[in-house]
Homo-oligomer: A and B are copies of this chain.
Amino acid sequence: MEVENTFKQWKKQCLNKIDFSKKGSVDEDITNIVSVLNDSEKYFTTSSCSGRIIVIDGVSDCLDVQKQNCSWLFVTHQKCQKTDLVTALERSCGDVIFKFEPFILHVQCRQLGDAQLLHSVAVESGFRNSGITVGKKGKIIMAVRSTHCLEVPLSRKGQVLVSSDYIEFLVEVANQKMIENLRRIERFFECLQSAMHHEDLHCTSSEAVKEKSVYKRRRKRTQDSPVEACQSSNDATLSDEDNGLQNGMDLFT
């Protein structure tokens, strides 16, 4: 009961906070996913992005692209056009990097079984780098992630190192990835609804059986506990592959 109350408090605090992201609101293509999760007593979202194509202007000789050393020349959560990239490059005098980043979502979960259910939905939808974090104070976070990306350096110290044809080609490749990303988001939403509906039915029927069992136990101690039936559905969909039993180079499929 204490765990439940703590989770409810965390959820209330989080959902009441101001959205401090640069955009300030949930991305359109995932508002349905975010709503379904936040409407459930088992979950709440802590951060999200539907996926994006970005052009970053970095400081030269900066080993890593860290936000504090970079400015954002362009960003879209949909497909982009060649002119977007050309315009961004014209505005730069540093090291420009073009990136595609897929859907990412962090969800705090009430208990481990809830996180497992969500994890299996994520992996089934193509977000194969998803994983669970169990932090101090018992916070359980499921992160939806994927390796489906692009990262292409385009200029150095303001000098563009690629041709106009290459830029056109790159835009096409990035847009294909965005289309695939949006397809996977739709699949995630369908799988999520299905899994949560299935879970609710299971729990409802196990509640009903449990009531009967309680009645029976008063008369006769022969009925097994139905709770296990409900819990097993949380991790039923994970495969051996997802348990990391592949070796070496198969990891990157």
Interfacial residues, chain A to chain B (CB-CB below 8 A): 14, 19-24, 46-49, 63-64, 66-67, 101, 104, 106-108, 112, 115-116, 119, 129-136, 139, 141, 143, 145, 147-153, 156, 161-163, 165-166, 169-170, 173, 176, 180, 235-236, 238, 240, 242-253
Contact = CB atoms under 8 A, between A and B. Distances in A.
B131 A180 contact: no
Nearest to A54: B252
A132 B133 contact: yes
B169 A248 contact: no
Given A46-B243, A135-B238, 20 more contacts: A21-B247, A21-B250, A22-B248, A46-B246, A46-B247, A47-B245, A47-B248, A63-B180, A104-B251, A106-B244, A108-B243, A119-B134, A131-B132, A132-B132, A133-B242, A135-B242, A136-B236, A149-B151, A156-B169, A162-B163
A169 B153 contact: yes
Number of copies: 2
A180 B21 CA distance: 28
B143 A244 contact: yes
B149 A235 contact: no
A170 B153 contact: yes
